[in-house]
Amino acid sequence: MPQEFGLANVTAIQAGTAPGDFQHGANFAIISATANNGSFFTSNGMSINPYSLDTQMLWFRSHLRSQQNVSDVLGGALVALGEIGGNDYNFAFSSGVAREKVRAFVPAVVDKLGAAVEELIGMGARAFVVPGNLPFGCAPLYLRRFGAARAEWDYDPRTGCLAWFNRFAEYHNRLLNARLDALRQKHPDVTIVYADWYGAMMSIFQAPGKLAPGALFAGMATSHQSAFRICQFFRHDNVGPVALETLSGKATTMVTQGS
């Protein structure tokens, strides 16, 4: 995404050792991070204690203390918050939590995101981009884990994706959008942009030939019939040249749709 706008990549917060390392910004992302902390999952019967948005905000506050003119730094910065929340759902679904119970987690996830935006605004931030969730039902992990026992009508005939899990992502995104709208009304001097990752990815899944060679997504339409073909032809967002091409296409799609 930065490359689409001609910007430099930012430095991971744990990789920098001096203020000069962060002249283009700082990245506080943690692999497999969740919006909610371990106590939330414990209270819902899951024995996981992941890094969470709380940890990232802690690192953020610590980093700001090392900066001069904090208000000026944040006031002229673009804060990218997310995508986060997807791992809250991934952990729950993979732990066997019932689908409707996981759906009930969504307001808590959105609350954490909204609270983080509020805190950052209080620190002086004036420009945000907040991505929504991706289409879970198109992810190879979900197609392999939840697809075997599904009936034909559980799939979107346009993509071969699991329809319920995509509706779940749409529900999260609706609630997130509503929260962002409320924040815009409360803080009219702050710019808050919603990044539609779901729409960008679905445009690729629905018309893959516009982006990549035909074989790349050859397993999509019949993904529920052969998990092996998913792994062979569809790399999704895992590291590799196929993933980089897909992610580049997602960034280009988002920029084009937003312009």
- Per-residue model confidence (pLDDT) at position 133: 96
pLDDT digits (tens, 9 = 90+) for 36-80: 999 999 999 998 877 899 988 888 888 777 766 666 778 888 888
pLDDT at residue 148 in the model: 73
Q: Under a CB-based contact definition with an 8 Å cutoff, are residues 67 and 19 in contact? A: yes
Contact between 130 and 192 under an 8 Å Cβ cutoff? The reply is yes
Mean pLDDT of 145-169: 87
Give me the helix-helix angle, 163-186 and 106-123, nearest 10°: 30
Where residue 254 falls among pLDDT bands split at 50, 70, 90? very low
How high is the pLDDT of residue 226? 47
Q: What is the pLDDT of residue 222?
A: 42
Res 184 pLDDT > 60? yes
Tens-place pLDDT, residues 205-240:
888 777 655 444 444 444 444 444 444 344 454 433
Tell me the CA distances in angstroms from 89 to 52, 65, 97, 117, 206, one per residue in order: 13, 33, 9, 21, 24
**pLDDT for 4:** 66
Residue whose pair of structure tokens reads 């994706």 in the numeric block: 161
Q: What residue ranges do the domains of the chain occupy?
A: 2-258
Rounded to the nearest 10°, the torsion over CA 181, 182, 186, 187 is: -30
How would you class 6 by CB atoms within 10 Å of its CB: exposed for 0-12, middle for 13-18, buried for 19 or more?
exposed
Q: What pLDDT was estimated at residue 40?
A: 94
Neighbours of 19 (CB within 10 A): 11
Separation of alpha carbons 131 and 163, rounded Å: 21
Per-residue DSSP letter, 133: -
pLDDT of residue 77: 85
pLDDT digits (tens, 9 = 90+) for 77-114: 888 898 999 999 999 999 999 999 999 999 999 999 99
DSSP annotation string for 7-39:
PPPPEETTT--SGGGGTT-EE---TT-BSS-HH
Output 107 or 15, whichever has higher pLDDT.
107
